[in-house]
Amino acid sequence: MEKLSQNLSGLGLEIGDGLLSVSEGSRGLIGKSKDQVKSKDDDSPVTVADWSVQAIVSWVLSECFGSRNVSIIAEEDVHTLSKFEARGILEAVVKTVNECLAEAPMLGLNAPDRPLGTLEVLEAISRCNSTGGPKGRHWVLDPVDGTLGFVRGDQYAVALALIENGEVVLGVLGCPNYPMKKEWLNYHHRYFRMMSKLSPPTSKSWEKGCVMYAKRGSGEALMQRLVHENKEFVWPNSAIRIQVSSIDDPGLATFCEPVEKANSSHSFTAGLAHSVGLRKQPLRVYSMVKYAAIARGDAEIFMKFARAGYKEKIWDHAAGVLIIHEAGGMVTDAGGRPLDFSKGIFLEGLDRGIIACSGPVLHKRIIDASLDSLHNEVFRDDHHHTSHPSLHYSCLPLSIPTQVLITPQTNQQ
């Protein structure tokens, strides 16, 4: 692991190369995955691409550092894939993994001496069973962040981060469908479907796809585009530095929020946006592409306030948080505290929600509005005994006196 400590930026590029290969390979899976989507125990979708990417990244990391030296925290397991009724999907996963790994030398990575067998692919996936913690080095992988976006031909990301003693030190985001023009983020899905029926998009008419990466403390975030010429993937190509937007006027700011309402409160976010003075309609984007949009300067704010019972997982945030930080932005919980990646697979101790901003001015406005809203909710609850679906008293900031929450109505002055 000495190489890891000495040359994290080089490793980031190497892993970024691998994710480029995965991103390229995943484009061909979109049509297949529509017919090969399974539901996990929590009813969230998982596709051939999810398992394939996890197997590929697991194999690459194990080859680089040795399987015994690699701790990987990842979203998918082999439980669903190992069932008899999933044998067709398992065959597709094995085929996809070997097709992608066969192209690894094009990106300077080693390919296996022979195609991986079914058991080897299952082993690579199941190897990603670490629970993390405050000590040691742990890779954090979300193989396809935004599976619904992926299946629909919309935005999704392949996200990989390295956590060292509880701190995120390396982040890589592969965003195969990320458009190079900001305005295309607003209608990517509809445009893609319409245009794909007429003619396949070309590099001239539809410039999209990139990998972003950053090393902790470097003060810079880099982006490499997925470049095509005559339908052939071109690598290497030069990386460019990306920076957050300089906009600090709420009236001009673009803010992002999740597409799906299942795990986030759009109504609460809308209330905050109104109180701060955000005038634009929210940019609803799948996956960690929201973090990418802020890091590249295409948006200024991302807010997510989870519904009751939902716990944020570290693989949905680790890579994006670091990339925004190194690009000049800020990411905290709704109480203004840094996110804690040292407690395992969940973001434990999170104060109500996550707020990412391009700079301190907007960040302070959002944080202040969030705290004002919380105080209003507390006093309203005290009078009416109701609760907001996204607020949990166990997660309230320490600055609010406990007496406010427990003083009976009859004792109020």
* Segment 309-355, tens digit of pLDDT: 889 999 999 999 999 999 999 999 999 999 999 999 999 999 989 99
Token pair belonging to 404 = 């406010």
**pLDDT by residue (tens digit) across 348-366?**
999 989 999 999 999 999 9
**What pLDDT, on the 0 to 100 scale, is given for residue 380?**
52
SS3 category, 45: strand
pLDDT at 396 over 70: no
What per-residue confidence (pLDDT) applies to 363?
96
Contacts of 315 (CB under 8 A, 6+ apart): 73, 74, 75, 140, 141, 142, 145, 159, 161, 345
Lowest mean pLDDT among 13-22, 103-112, 164-173, 274-283: 13-22
Active site residue 50: yes
Q: What is the pLDDT of residue 2?
A: 42
CA neighbours closer than 13 Å in the CB half-sphere of residue 180: 15
Q: Is 113 annotated as a binding residue?
A: no
Q: 238-257, pLDDT tens digit by residue?
A: 789 999 999 999 999 999 88
Look at residues 373, 322, 62, 300 and name the one whose alpha carbon lies nearest to residue 167. 322
Bridge partner residues of 73 (DSSP): 129, 140
Rounded to an integer, the average pLDDT of 108-133 is 92
CA distance 324 to 256: 14
| DSSP-derived 3-state class of residue 261 | coil
Decide yes or no: CATH 3.40.250.10 for domain 255-395.
no
User: In whole angstroms, what separates CA 135 from the centre of its chain?
Assistant: 23
The Cα 211–Cα 206 span in angstroms is 17
142 annotated as a binding-site residue: yes
* pLDDT recorded at residue 352: 87
pLDDT single digits (tens) 122-135: 999 999 999 999 99
145 assigned ligand-binding residue: yes
394 versus 65: the higher-pLDDT residue is: 65
Q: What is the pLDDT of residue 141?
A: 95
The single residue of 47, 96, 147, 254 carrying the catalytic annotation is 147
Question: Which has more pLDDT, 73 or 14?
Answer: 73
Residue 255, strand partner residues: 301
- What's the confidence (pLDDT) of residue 44? 58
pTM over 0.85? The answer is: no
The reply, when asked if residue 372 is annotated as ligand binding, is: no
d(CA 9, CA 377): 45
Q: Are 156 and 173 in contact (CB under 8 A)?
A: no
Question: Does position 262 have pLDDT exceeding 80, yes or no?
Answer: no
Using DSSP, state whether 124 is helix, strand or coil: helix
372 is catalytic: no
Helix (H, G, I), strand (E, B) or coil at 29: coil
409 or 98: which leads in pLDDT: 98
Which residue in the list 50, 154, 333, 351 is annotated as catalytic?
50
